[in-house]
Chains A and B, each alone.
Chain A
C-alpha cells in the first residue's frame, strides 16, 4: 500500500475499533428510546460502571476478563431493570422529566464511583495474553484492539440478528407498535419492556468492560460517552440497529482520523459531521423501522 491510506492506516483501523465500541454502547440507548420511548441520560454511567468493573476485576488473566464480563452483564441487567422501574411512573409525563431523573441518577452514581475509586483516570490493561502488537499489512498494531474488533463485530451481528431477524425481535417490535394487541395474545408486556432495557443497559456495561483498555474509567468519562452515543444515535437515526452501526462507524472515523489529521479542529469535526448528515437526512442515516 502507499499514499494517503498507508499513512493513516492505523488511524482508520483505530476508527473501526472505536466505532464498534460506540456501537456497542449506543445501540442500547437507541433501542431503549426508539422502542420504549424512554430517554436514558444515565447511559454513559452504565459504560463507566462497566469500565470500573473491568478495572476492579482485571488481574492480567483471561479468566479475570471473563469474570469481569459476567459481572458487567450482571451490573448492566440490574441497572437496566432498576432504570425501567424508576422511569415507568414518569412514562406519561414526557421526556423532560425522564431527562431530569436520569441526570440525577448520573450525578448520584458518578459521586459514589468517585468516592470509591478516586478522582483519577485509572489505566486498565488488557489480559497479558492479549498485550503486545502484531504486524498488520506492514504496520504494527495492538493485539487487544484486533481482538476487540472481532468480538464487537460479533456482538453487532448478534444484536442485529436478535432485534431485526428473530421472532423475539418481532415480538419486541410488535409490543412497541401495539401494546394492547400483544397483551391480548397473552404476552406479559412488562417483561418485554424490562428485557429491552436490561439488554440495552447490559450492552453498555459490556462495552465498558471491553472498552476499559481503550477508554478507561475516570470521572467525566460517563459524560463523554453519553455525548458520543447521543451523537451516534442522532446521526444514525433513532431506534434502528443498522442506523446505530452506520452512525457509530462514521463517528468512530471522524474522531480518530480527525484527531490524527486535524487535531485542533477535532471537536468541530464532530459537530460538522452531525450538521452535514442532518441537513442531508434530517432523520439520520437510517430511518427507524418502528418510529418515524
Chain B
C-alpha cells in the first residue's frame, strides 16, 4: 500500500495528487478521532478544534518564525496538546452523549475564536500567503504539489506507524478496557480519568499535526477548517470505516473525502456535495453496521485486523 502511494504522483495527474494529499491529511485527523471514539469509546464531534488550532499555529509559525516543516509540525502538535489539556479535562469528566455534546461545544468555541480573534487569525478572511514548506534543513522549499505530496506521505507514514505501535501497548489495552467496561477498570485500580485525559491530549496532538500538514498542502487556513463540518465528516469516516480499525478509518476518510471533493464536483451534481454526503451518512448507517472494516472480504485478502 505504501509503495502504491509512493508511486501515485508518477501515474496520476496534478489534481488527483492534490486530492490524495488532502485525503492523507484528513486520514490523520480521522485516526485522531478513532483514538478517542474507536479505541476509548469517547464519541467526539470536536476534533476539528485541535485540527484548527494546529493549522493556525503552523500558519503563524510559517509566516513569522520558520518555513521548516518538521518544526511547524512539532509546535502545532504541542500547542494543540496544550489546548486539548485545557479543554479536555472538562470533556473527559463526561461519557457518552454528554462527552459528545461537550466536544461539540469546544469545537464551536474554537471556531468562533478563529472568526473573532482577528488580530491573530485575520477573521473570516483566513490567512493566506503562507510560504511553501521546507521539509528538512538545507532542502529547497516545496513549491510543486507533487513534491508536497511526498512530504505529506512521509509524515503520514511516520504518524501512522506511531499510532499503530501505540495500539499494541498496555496503555491501549487499558483504553479498550475503559471502552468496554469502565467501572471494572476503575475497580481493579486503573485511574481511568487520567488515562482518558492522556489519550485526549495525544489525539489532540495528532489532530494538531494534521492541521499543520493541512497548511503545508493548502498554504491557506480559514475558520472553516476548524468548523463543525470537518468534525462531523471525521466522525462519519470513523463510523463508516468501522470503529476501532486504523485501516477502516483511512478507508472511511478516503470514501468521505472523495464523495465531498470528487463526486460533489461532477457536473450533474455540482454544488450538491452536502446532499451526497448526507446520503452517504444515512446509507452507511443502515447498510454497514460494523463499518467497512466489518465487511467480509472472501478468501484471505486481508490479514488480521490491526488496532
Residues of A within 8 A of B (CB): 33, 39, 89-90, 93, 95-97, 99-101, 103-112, 114-115, 223, 226-227, 230-231, 233-234, 238, 264, 266-268, 270-271, 274-275, 278-279, 282
Contacts and interface: CB of A to CB of B under 8 A. Distances in A.
A100 B239 contact: yes
Given A230-B105, A234-B98, A267-B112, A96 B243 contact: yes
Nearest to B37: A96
Interface of B: 37, 43, 45, 87, 90, 93-94, 96-98, 100-102, 104-106, 108-109, 112-113, 116-117, 228, 232, 235-236, 239, 243, 272, 274-275, 277-282, 284-286, 289
Contacts of B104: 226-227, 230
Contact of B228 (A115, A223, A268, A279): A223
Q: Is the interface of A mostly helix, strand, loop or mixed?
A: helix
* Residue among A95, A114, A230, A238 facing the most chain B CB atoms (10 A cut-off): A230
A104 B275 contact: no
Contacts of A90: 285
6 contacts: A100-B284, A101-B281, A104-B285, A107-B275, A267-B108, A267-B109
B296 to A, nearest CB: 19
A39 B98 CA distance: 10
B113 A267 contact: yes
A282 B93 CA distance: 8
Contacts, number: 114
A227 B108 contact: yes
A239 to B, nearest CB: 11
Nearest to A93: B289
Nearest to A86: B282
Given A39-B97, A264-B116, A104 B105 contact: no
Given A97-B239, A106-B278, A230 B101 contact: yes
A65 B87 CA distance: 43
B97 A108 contact: no
B43 A108 contact: no
Given A231-B101, A271-B109, A107 B96 contact: no
B282 A108 contact: yes
A229 to B, nearest CB: 10
A99 B240 CA distance: 13
Contacts of B97: 33, 39, 95, 238
Contact of B285 (A33, A100, A115): A100
Given A108-B279, A264-B117, A271-B87, 16 more contacts: A39-B97, A39-B100, A96-B37, A99-B45, A100-B239, A103-B235, A104-B281, A107-B274, A111-B274, A230-B101, A230-B105, A231-B101, A266-B116, A267-B116, A271-B106, A278-B93
B95 to A, nearest CB: 11
B279 A271 contact: no
A95 B100 contact: yes
B102 A104 contact: no
Contacts of B90: 274-275, 278-279
Contacts of B284: 100
B281 to A, nearest CB: 3
B88 to A, nearest CB: 12
Contacts of A233: 101
Nearest to A33: B97
A56 B78 CA distance: 49
Contacts of A93: 289
Nearest to B45: A99
A271 B272 CA distance: 33
Given A39-B97, A234-B98, A267-B113, A96 B239 contact: yes
Contacts of A108: 274-275, 278-279, 282
B281 A107 contact: yes
A231 B103 CA distance: 11
A96 B43 contact: yes
Nearest to A233: B101
Contacts of A279: 90
